[in-house]
Structures are given as structure tokens and as C-alpha cells.
Structure 1
Amino acid sequence: MAENSPIPIRERTRRLAQAELTTVAQDLFLAQGYEDTTVEQIAAAAGMSKRTFFRYFPSKDDLVIGKYDVFADRMADALDARPANEPVWESLRRVFDITLEYVEDDHQRARNEAMDEIVRSTPQLHARYLEKMQRVQELLIGRVATRLTNHDHVPSDPKPAAIVGAAFACMQAARQAWFASDRSEPFSSYVDDSMATLQLSSV
């Protein structure tokens, strides 16, 4: 997506419908289990037909995994929105701000942890989750490469992938440390400290 280009109305409408379906489906998954929840039940709970459901998601699995595509797009859009002259490391730190609501909000965190457990315990979902997480990083790697060189990413250049990989490692370290703490400090402070450890502010 071009920098600062608006999202078309049709696409915004599609994303809203997908978000509503996802919320409805998650409620059913948490209440009665993933395997015991059918597409028909999800569609009925959302007030639509099964045929309409398939306009937004090819399958039940895609509904669960689709949130990671939305997450990837949000992160890419957030990086696109950062000032072009801002250090890349600082831009990545600010991109991670969109994850704070998933961790610091008690209700959101409980829902996400429950859904993450469903993904981890369902082999086909976990395999696709790993693929989606790779896509998240690939989207950012291309953008970081452009920010650093004003050219598209050259696969033989390891620097963009190393920077993005390091940023995600810092995020994961911060998440693990925060969950192990008494949570008296905000998660954002842990992310700040973790990313400051590598001293890549000049990148």
C-alpha cells in the first residue's frame, strides 16, 4: 500500500465485517470449543447466511488465522505512517505500540490468550500461524530495506531482515518478562527497555 494512501470504502467495509465475524466466532469457540463450533453456527450468530460467511472467509480455519493478516497489515500501515527521516529502530518501536492494547487491556488479553491456546493446540492452525508470522516480518523487511537504501529489498542484503528480526526478538523478550513480573509497570516500559538494550537508535 502506498504511503498515506486511503483505504477504499469497500475494503474498510470488508474489514469491519471480518472483524465482527471474528468476534462472534471467538465467543463461540471459547464457549463450546473450536472443533465443536461450525461455520453454520458462526454465520447464524452473526445474522448472516453460510454463503455470506464464505464471502469473507474461505473456511473456519481462515477466520482464526485471518487476524494475523489484519495484524500484518496494521503493522505495515503503521510503519508507512512514520516520518521518512525517523531512525528505523525508533519507527519499529512505535509500530509495536499497536500491540499494547492486546497485552495491557485485561479483557483483550484474556481473549487473546485463550485464542492463542486454541491455535497452539490445533496442528493445522499452528502451522499456518507460523506462516503468517513470517509474512508479518517480510512485510516490514521490505519497508525497512526501502527506508535504508531507497530501493526495493535485495535478498542478498541481510541487514533489513536482521533489524526486523532483532526488533521482534526484543518484543518477545519484553512480553515474556512482563508476564513474569507483578505487572506494576506498563508493558510499554518493558518494550522500551528491551529495545534500548540493542542500542540501534542510529539505524
Structure 2
Amino acid sequence: MSETPAVPIRERTRRLAQTELTSVAQDLFVAQGYDQTTVDQIAAAAGMSKRTFFRYFPSKDDLVIGKYDLFADRMAEALDERPPDEPIWESLRRVFDLTLDYVQDDHQRARNDAMEEIVRSTPQLHARYLEKMQRVQELLIGRVAVRLTSHDRVGTDPRPAAIVGAAFACMQAARQAWFASDRSEPFGSYLDTAMSALPVGPDS
């Protein structure tokens, strides 16, 4: 495994609190609607004060969109933990294991689908969602670039962006195909099939 700096305890604690708040809030949003759910209700359901809530998220919108930052950080850390000599394409496939529960677990999938509908139907949330998804890919592109290119070519080599973009396209294709199937096979098998369809070179 590659050696990466440990996440400080304070930051890990913060992320755990943010994750818990996000989970509590999503259940409320699904049950009673996004607009109908207040910060006071979220804080109360999480067992904290409104003031404490604002220590973790500046607003209700930030709570919804913040989960994509947390997910981006998890994916980046997962890629950092892969062996440095492992082909990048295989590393990305293993990073995508983080998405399995979101797709295969019925409760998580139902909640995730409901939240995606809220984001799509709320203009300010959708605009910020697109920005966050771009950040997810940029975090991975930067790491792929370090592993694939010489220092003087980082930022000018098109391969990292092409590889990461292709990997995300494979994940989306696998997701659509799995939902259209009888789901007798695990989602991970569909990811394997989709990603094996592209002739990615040995340097990746």
C-alpha cells in the first residue's frame, strides 16, 4: 500500500458528525419534504442544538450538497490507499466499491434516489451538485496524473482526465444496466463487465 498521511482525529470526528447529520436529515427530507424540513427539526432529531448544527454546515443546502464533498474525500482517500504500482484502471475499479451499498442496499438506494430527485428538482441545489461532481472527478484526475505523468506534464497530459471520465461513464452504464436487469447478479459484476469493455492501456 502507498503511504498517505493519517486523517487527524479532529477531522475524522467532524466527518463522522457530518455523516450522521446528513443521514438524519435525509430521512426527514424523504419523510416530509425538503422545503418542509427545518434546521431546527434536523438538529433536534440529531440530538444537538441549532448552534451546533451550524458548526458543521452553514445551511440546509450545504448539508444536502456536503455529502458529495464527503464522498469525494472518501474516493480520493481510497485511491491513495491503493498500491502505487497497481494499474490505474484497476485502482479506479476498487475505488468504485464505495458505491456498491448505495446501489445494492434497498434502504440506502431508496433514500439516495429520493435525495437525487430533490437535488434535480431544486435549481440552486442542482447547480451546486454539478460543481461538486466535477470536484469528485478533479480530485481523482489529480491523483491519476501524479501516477501517470512526469512532473512537468501534470496539467497538460490529457490521459488522466480521459481515464477518469471513462471510468465514471462505465460506472453510470453499469448502474443503468443493473437497474434494468432482474438484479440477480451483484452490481459489482456489472461494474466489472462495463470497465472490462474498454481497452485501457498497460500504463493505466
Q: Give the direction of change, closer, same or farther, for the CA distance of 1:190–1:152 in structure 2 (3 Å limit).
A: farther
1:85 paired residue number: 85
For 2:170 and 2:70, how far apart are their aligned partners in 1? Answer: 22
**Shift in Å at residue 156 of structure 1?**
2.3
1:74 paired residue number: 74
**Shift in Å at residue 92 of structure 1?**
0.5
Q: What amino acid is aligned across from residue 72 of structure 1 in structure 2?
A: A
1:104 paired residue number: 104
**Shift in Å at residue 3 of structure 1?**
4.3
**Shift in Å at residue 47 of structure 1?**
1.6
SS of residue paired to 2:48:
coil
Q: Give the direction of change, closer, same or farther, for the CA distance of 1:5–1:152 in structure 2 (3 Å limit).
A: farther
Deviations 1:71-111 (A, max 9, x none): 10010001000000001111111110111111111111111
2:46 paired residue number: 46
Q: What amino acid is aligned across from residue 165 of structure 1 in structure 2?
A: G
For 1:152 and 1:72, how far apart are their aligned partners in 2? Answer: 26
SS of residue paired to 2:199:
coil
For 2:95 and 2:122, how far apart are their aligned partners in 1? Answer: 29
For 1:82 and 1:201, how far apart are their aligned partners in 2? Answer: 18
1:9 paired residue number: 9
- TM-score (norm: length of structure 2): 0.95
**Shift in Å at residue 149 of structure 1?**
2.1
Q: What amino acid is aligned across from residue 175 of structure 1 in structure 2?
A: R
For 2:106 and 2:54, how far apart are their aligned partners in 1? Answer: 32
Structure 1 stretches of 5 or more lacking a match?
none
Identity of aligned residues (%): 81
Structure 2 stretches of 5 or more lacking a match?
none
For 1:59 and 1:20, how far apart are their aligned partners in 2? Answer: 16
1:20 paired residue number: 20
1:122 paired residue number: 122
Q: What amino acid is aligned across from residue 129 of structure 1 in structure 2?
A: Y
For 2:201 and 2:172, how far apart are their aligned partners in 1? Answer: 19
1:170 paired residue number: 170
**Shift in Å at residue 151 of structure 1?**
2.7
2:159 paired residue number: 159
Q: Give the direction of change, closer, same or farther, for the CA distance of 1:77–1:153 in structure 2 (3 Å limit).
A: farther
Cα-Cα RMSD: 1.4
Q: Give the direction of change, closer, same or farther, for the CA distance of 1:152–1:27 in structure 2 (3 Å limit).
A: farther
**Shift in Å at residue 154 of structure 1?**
2.8
**Shift in Å at residue 153 of structure 1?**
6.3
8 Å Cα contact 1:145-1:152 kept in structure 2: no
Q: Give the direction of change, closer, same or farther, for the CA distance of 1:153–1:67 in structure 2 (3 Å limit).
A: farther
Q: How many residues align?
A: 202
For 1:165 and 1:50, how far apart are their aligned partners in 2? Answer: 39
For 2:171 and 2:51, how far apart are their aligned partners in 1? Answer: 39
